[in-house]
Amino acid sequence: MVSAQVAARPFRALGGFFAMSLDTFALMFQRPFAWREYVIQTWFVARVSVLPALMLTMPYSVLLVFTFNILLNEFGASDFSGTGAAIGTVNQIGPIVTVLVVSGAGATAMCADLGARTIRDELDALRVMGINPIQALVVPRVLAATTVALALSASVIIVGLAGAFLFCVHIQNVSAGAFISGLTLLTGAGDVLVSLVKATLFGLAAGLISCYKGVYVGGGPAGVGHAVNETVVFTFMVLFAINVIVTAVGIQFTVS
């Protein structure tokens, strides 16, 4: 019997996650909406995410154009380095870096915060007072992660392209005009739209997973650390999986 319970545990966790997600979506449209908490959380996630996001996107976009330019130099086509930079930064690096940071910085802090409240029975206290913790705490956090992911991905793309531009033009001696005119050769409004959709979905998933792990934490103080660790692992896995699927679907519409 014990082994059956152990075997059923992942399914129970999955079921619990979907139940909480459904609750969150249902309560998202019910009043009263926790505006104050939403604004505070959005500001918090933005504050901890912006600097690491920009510091992470620069090296990755520089690495991308460096690798891509090796290839283009071989063809004698380094004028097209802007095209490669645009494809890589807009489609992949922008949304992925955004979400790595939102989940690494924002979601971990949310999970730690909610987990600490759970093991101190503060969530039960809320329930006793007739306040639904999902509505008061989870909904604003999930929406905050989504908002910040969407808002941040645009700035990450801009900074990534600017970094690629500086690296190509000043270090690899690509003509600035050729770089700029190559940007939009293969990348259009459709790609930008897909990229923003990706970032939004990523933020939503990261918010939901971190809140689930925080609300259903167990095992005392040591459990919070493990819950945060699991949050990071599971968000990264889900995000990479979502990325492949959305890329495969989106590319049918954007590449003609």
Residues near another protein (CB under 8 A) are 9-10, 13, 48, 52, 55-56, 59-60, 62-64, 66-67, 69-71, 73-75, 87, 91-92, 100-101, 104-105, 107-109, 111-113, 115-116, 119, 172, 186, 220-230, 232-233, 236-237, 240-241, 243-244, 247-248, 251, 255-256
C-beta closer to another protein: residue 43 or 240? 240
Task: Find the shortest distance in angstroms from Cβ 107 to another protein.
Answer: 8
Identify which of residues 4 and 29 has a Cβ nearer to another protein in the complex: 4
Q: How far is the CB of 67 from another protein (least distance, A)?
A: 5
Alpha helix (H) residue ranges in the chain: 2-28, 35-75, 81-88, 94-101, 108-119, 122-128, 133, 139-166, 176-183, 189-215, 220-254
Q: What is the DSSP string of 220-232?
A: HHHHHHHHHHHHH
Least distance CB 130 / another protein (angstroms): 26
CB-wise, 26 or 251, nearer to another protein? 251
Q: Decide: 232 and 108 in contact? Cβ < 8 Å.
A: yes
Q: How far apart are CA 65 and CA 166, in angstroms?
A: 11
Shortest reach from residue 32's CB to another protein, in Å: 26
Closest to 254 in 3D by CA, of 210, 197, 213, 200: 197
d(CA 89, CA 154): 11
Minimum CB distance to another protein smaller for 130 or for 220: 220
Phi, psi of 81 (to 5 degrees): -60, -30
- Least separation in angstroms between CB 25 and another protein: 25
**Is there a contact between 46 and 148 (Cβ–Cβ < 8 Å)?**
yes
* CA 191 – CA 95 distance, rounded (Å): 11
Query: Shortest Cβ distance from residue 73 to another protein (Å)?
Result: 7
For residues 236 and 222, give the distance between their C-alpha atoms in angstroms, rounded to a whole number.
Answer: 22
Nearer to another protein, 92 or 155 (CB): 92
Nearer of residues 33 and 113 to another protein, judged by Cβ: 113
